Amino acid sequence: MKVMLLVMLSAVMLLATLAAPAPLQQKAHGAGELKPFPQQVSYPGIIKPNHVSQSSMNSSVSSYYDYWKATYLKNNLSSLPGGYYVKGDITGEADGFDPLGTSEGQGYGMVITVLMAGYDTNSRTIYDGLFKTARAFKSSNNPNLMGWVIADSTGAQGHFGSATDGDLDIAYSLILADRQWGSTGTINYLAEAKKMIGAIKLSNVTTNNRLNLGDWDTKSALNTRPSDWMLSHLRAFNEVTGDSTWLNVINNLYNVYSQFTAAYSSSTGLISDFVVGNPPKPAPQNYLEEFPETNEYNYNASRVPLRIVMDYALYGDTRGKDIANKMVVWIKGKTGNNPNNVKDGYQLNGSNRGTYATAVFVAPFISAATTTNTHQAWVNAGWDWMKNKKESYFSDSFNMLNLLFISGNWWKPTYSAADTQAPSDPTNLTATAASSSQINLSWTASTDNVGVTGYRVFRGGVEVGAPTDTSFSDTGLTASTAYSYMVKAVDAAGNLSANSNTASATTSSTPAAGINLALGKTAVASSIEGVGFEASKATDGNSTTRWASIEGSNNEWIYVDLGATQSVNRVKLNWEDAYAKGYKVQVSNDATTWTDTYVTTTGNGSIDDITFTANSGRYVRVLCTARGTVYGYSIFDFEVYSS
């Protein structure tokens, strides 16, 4: 899957405090831009090139924008008239479609377009066209996110899963759009931003406060892409919603960076394209079949310095300043203070991997150097190098974002006082038993003066869920038991509605022996080989799809959540060629402490139909300990049966 790259951060004013601010509220604005280019902001504690005038920098930015727009911004989709997109190459499978661009590029384009409004008199039409495409090409997993591939086919719309970086940029651009044009026009930018922020939290914020790679990835994933760590974006999300989750994610990502660099790059401050594990470590080579150097500072991680320095520029977090400065001190020494000597790839110890100076590597190092005037000569030389560098979609788009930041033309969206009006109460709540352990709920949506961001589901007066849409599945219930529910709506300010009507349902009796308890249930794995090989493929009842772990690792696992405690005495495994010679079948009540029910060191693949003494548990795991091939592990079907 392509880098599906991230999209830049915000900038402008320094906030001295990290306390949670009041949520952002919609304003009614008049026609025209409220933040027309050039804004030429001076960020506190940040230097600019001082060998050219501000007017000259503005001219360089607008000239580069003209080139970028003419080269990459397109409006020729026969399958979506009026839909704009940013044309760019991808790395990864496009499932037979002819790819034209990615959600990464869409995010870049939407941020760039809204920041250049005023200079480009057609910017709002273009922006709305970019948003139209983003919405049409919705994710196959979460309709409030964007699928990562754009192709001129209606079949591609809703076909692909998401990429975290693209959605972060798109959501952030919607906040900028609200501050640029207001949200009283055809598109309610602020409401759409809140909708996406809620979807990103639902699908991409993991249980360990990292950001996963897309909505196809698991919520328990430890794998993360540092180029997705758009810290100032996350602070803007916090300002819009008042949700401290985003501050928790920021703090944890700083901790992950500190642990990683202390162990692997103490002298350079570099970080690998992908990070896995806890404690964090570089991903293996060729992770997710991206390219061989995924364990090094390469074409994904090259974007990290801009993300980091913008958190200092906008919010004054000195952790960002310290990280940026460490990288710059190293790269200046490495290159002899010559930006043209930067290479497109480094090992974590600073040894060269690449051979060429390209803007996606050079420009972020220039942005990172703006934290102190001791780097003034480097910033000046870097600006001169960047402003005329024209290469390809990826490098040029990221160069454009750095030019906007360094020149002070990436402004920070402001926010206003808190909303005090609660949403209307949800109506028409219904409850339907789906199994012996699950009840499904649905209701009619609430309305709000600013926008409903989600709902709170209560079972017997106790909150059991917080969905963002109008349905919820309550799992882990007891068979043959009656349950009662009610729902409340919540807006971005945290205002709760009155109660909905009450709805009740009774779970069915315990399933009979011979029924596959794992069918359609949630599955979690220690790793996946890539898109299309998720843990859920082993429990979907389709013997042509499969879970596959990363290659080259012996200790990998997959477990299924049965939804409720069951008495289990049989597991059936349909292995693909990549089988386990050694593995254990285990059960658990909490997915933390596991009990062995079956152990083998002589597995030979094919189909293993295993019976054992009955054990009770909600979770059943296959813990693979020894590979039968040089690859990883792969299972077509993971079936569990009760005694």
Q: Choose, from 66, 89, 152, 165, the residue flagged as catalytic.
A: 165
Residue 428 — φ and ψ, nearest 5°? 55, 40
Closest by CA to 421, choosing from 469, 489, 478, 480, is 489
Q: Whole-angstrom Cα distance, residue 394 to residue 269?
A: 24
Residue pair 211/164 in contact (Cβ under 8 Å)? The answer is yes
Q: Whole-angstrom Cα distance, residue 436 to residue 205?
A: 30
Residue pair 546/535 in contact (Cβ under 8 Å)? The answer is no
Give the Cα-Cα-Cα angle 375, 321, 282 (nearest 5 degrees).
Answer: 105
Token pair for residue 168? 């972060």
Residue pair 368/327 in contact (Cβ under 8 Å)? The answer is yes
Token pair for residue 535? 């843990």
341 alpha carbon, distance to own chain's centre: 32
Task: Note the residue count of the chain.
Answer: 643
Q: Whole-angstrom Cα distance, residue 530 to residue 550?
A: 8
Q: Active site includes 391?
A: no
Residue pair 462/506 in contact (Cβ under 8 Å)? The answer is no
* Signed CA dihedral, 415, 421, 422, 428: sign only: negative
DSSP state of 411: P
How many Cβ atoms sit within 10 Å of the Cβ of residue 612? Answer: 16
Side chain identity at residue 388, one-letter code: N
Q: Whole-angstrom Cα distance, residue 64 to residue 58?
A: 10
Residue pair 466/457 in contact (Cβ under 8 Å)? The answer is yes
Q: Whole-angstrom Cα distance, residue 581 to residue 389?
A: 54
Q: Whole-angstrom Cα distance, residue 209 to residue 198?
A: 15
Q: Choose, from 104, 167, 448, 540, the residue flagged as catalytic.
A: 104
Which residues have C-beta within 8 Å of that of residue 44, sequence separation ≥ 6? 13, 14, 316
Q: What dihedral angle (degrees, nearest 10) is formed by the CA atoms of 633, 638, 642, 643?
A: -50
CA distance readout (Å), 587 to 290, 349, 358, 621, 641 = 35, 42, 51, 6, 12
383 alpha carbon, distance to own chain's centre: 30
Closest by CA to 324, choosing from 338, 311, 308, 340, is 308
Q: Active site includes 192?
A: no
Q: Whole-angstrom Cα distance, residue 333 to residue 87?
A: 36
Residues annotated as part of the active site: 104, 165
